[in-house]
Amino acid sequence: MNFSSDNVAGVSPEIMAALAAANAGSQPSYGADSISERVERRLAEIFERDVAVFPVATGTAANALALATVAPPWGVVYCHAEAHIAVDECGAPEFYAGGARVVGLAAPHGKIAPADLAPLLPGGKGVVHHMQPAAISLTQASEAGTVYRADEIAAIGELARSHGLALHVDGARFANAVAHLGCAPADITWRAGVDILSFGATKNGAAAAEAVIFFDKAKAADFAFRRKRGGHLFSKMRFLSAQLDAYLADDLWLRNARHANAAATRLADGLARIPGLRLRHAVEANEIFVEMPDALIDSLFAKGFHFYRWDGPRGNCVRLVTAFDTALADVDAFLAVARRANTSGGH
Please give the residues from 185 up to 244 whose contact with a second copy meets the rule CB under 8 A.
Answer: 202-203, 207-208, 222, 224-236, 239-240
Q: How many residues bind a second copy (CB under 8 A)?
A: 72
With contacts defined by CB under 8 A, name the span among 69-77, 107-115, 247-255, 265-273 that binds a second copy.
69-77
Q: For residues 25-39, b (16+ Cβ closer than 10 Å) or e, as one string?
A: eebeeebebebbebb
Q: How far is the CB of 129 from a second copy (least distance, A)?
A: 5
Strand, helix or coil for residue 104: strand
| Closest CB to a second copy among residues 63, 342 | 63
Whole-number Å distance between alpha carbons of 200 and 205: 10
| Closest CB to a second copy among residues 94, 195 | 94
**Residue 95, amino acid:** F
| Closest CB to a second copy among residues 9, 155 | 9
| Closest CB to a second copy among residues 73, 276 | 73
| Closest CB to a second copy among residues 65, 288 | 65
Query: Where in 26-55 is the site for a second copy (CB under 8 A)?
Result: 26-30
Identify which of 221, 2, 190, 230 has the alpha carbon closest to the alpha carbon of residue 97: 230
Among 37, 41, 99, 217, binds a second copy (CB under 8 A): 99
59 class by beta-carbon count within 10 Å (0-12 exposed, 13-18 middle, 19+ buried): buried
Query: Where in 241-300 is the site for a second copy (CB under 8 A)?
Result: none
Whole-number Å distance between alpha carbons of 229 and 109: 36
Identify which of 106, 108, 104, 180 has the alpha carbon closest to the alpha carbon of residue 140: 180
Whole-number Å distance between alpha carbons of 130 and 76: 10
Q: How far is the CB of 187 from a second copy (least distance, A)?
A: 28
Q: How far is the CB of 185 from a second copy (least distance, A)?
A: 23
With contacts defined by CB under 8 A, name the span among 25-33, 105-113, 154-162, 269-277 that binds a second copy.
25-33
Among 49, 163, 306, 339, binds a second copy (CB under 8 A): 306
Whole-number Å distance between alpha carbons of 324 and 248: 14
Backbone dihedral region of 250: left (phi > 0), alpha (psi from -120 to 50 degrees) or beta? Answer: left
Q: Is 333 in the site for a second copy (CB under 8 A)?
A: no
With contacts defined by CB under 8 A, name the span among 94-102, 138-146, 148-156, 185-193 that binds a second copy.
94-102
Among 18, 67, 79, 92, binds a second copy (CB under 8 A): 92
Instruction: Give the distance between the most distant pair of CA atoms in the chain.
Output: 65
| Closest CB to a second copy among residues 81, 186 | 81
Binding mask 114-133 for a second copy (x = CB under 8 A): --------------xxxxx-
Backbone dihedral region of 126: left (phi > 0), alpha (psi from -120 to 50 degrees) or beta? Answer: left
Among 36, 60, 140, 322, binds a second copy (CB under 8 A): 60
Q: Is 308 in the site for a second copy (CB under 8 A)?
A: no
Helical ranges in 71-149 per DSSP H = 84-87, 92-96, 114-117
Q: Is 16 in the site for a second copy (CB under 8 A)?
A: yes
Q: How far is the CB of 186 from a second copy (least distance, A)?
A: 27
Identify which of 22, 28, 83, 88 has the alpha carbon closest to the alpha carbon of residue 58: 88
Q: How far is the CB of 231 from a second copy (least distance, A)?
A: 3
